Amino acid sequence: MSSLPGKFISKISGLDFSDRFGTGWDKASTFSVLLRMGIWWLRGLFLRLRMKSSKGMLLVGKGVTIRQAGSFKVGRNFVAQDHCEINCLSQKGIVFGDKVTVGSYAIIRPTNLYGGELGMGLKVGTNSSIGPYAYIGCSGYIEIGDNVMMSPRVSIYAENHIFADSELPMIEQGVKRSFVKIEDDCWIASNAVILAGVTIGKGSVVAAGSIVTRDVPPFSIVGGNPAKLIKSR
């Protein structure tokens, strides 16, 4: 029993699930996972009709909001977990590679929900994940590489409010758009905040709770507020 569901999912998804239902998985637990994936897959079929392009399986949890899906492009085997929100209307769209997961209650927002200038958008590479409760403010362009792990409650901002004029309310001074780039094979730990204009180099680790205000060299471990180099990998 344990290997058959894994082999079936592997066949339709192109992913290796052959050992996912081994020792410790009783029949009831295995069936509940398969049933949930089936329901998510059905939701994905309806989403596919509205999207710019998609491949493989689309698994869509309950309460997921995807706005302006005509600007949304994904590769194979995309997963949107329960209650996440992806707003796609932007100059460069929202583009995901293969095997990208967006965690529960995460928000991706390039453009104001109530009109205004279009934001730039977001690109996420293959086998990368955006953790639960993350906020990705991609009004400036954000690019996330391959094999990037993002833990819960990470925030990324690609713009800054303008506040130079002390006589004028800051809310009326607008914003300055910038960028954020996270290169391949990085781990961004829980509650980290990455601010506009930052590049995080390949193979780096950002410690939990860090505030990243400047570039991180490749293969670095950084932490603190503001984040500083702890050591190199």
pLDDT tens-digit map of 180-216: 999 999 999 999 999 999 999 999 999 999 999 999 9
What pTM did the predictor assign?
0.89
Active site residues: 161
Overall average pLDDT of the 10-15 stretch: 58
The yes-or-no verdict on residue 59 having pLDDT over 70 is: yes
The region of weakest confidence among 109-118, 123-132, 150-159, 211-220 is 109-118
- Helix 27-48 to helix 3-13 angle (10° resolution) is 10
The region of weakest confidence among 3-7, 60-64, 166-170, 174-178 is 3-7
Euclidean distance between CA atoms 143 and 47, whole angstroms: 24
- Indicate the pLDDT class of residue 7, thresholds 50, 70 and 90: low
Euclidean distance between CA atoms 22 and 231, whole angstroms: 39
Q: Answer whether 72's CB lies under 8 Å from 52's CB.
A: yes
Whole-number average pLDDT of the chain: 90
The region of weakest confidence among 39-48, 132-141, 154-163 is 39-48
The yes-or-no verdict on residue 10 having pLDDT over 70 is: no
Euclidean distance between CA atoms 77 and 111, whole angstroms: 26
> Please, which residues bridge with residue 205 across strands?
187, 221
Q: Answer whether 17's CB lies under 8 Å from 37's CB.
A: no
The yes-or-no verdict on residue 3 having pLDDT over 70 is: no
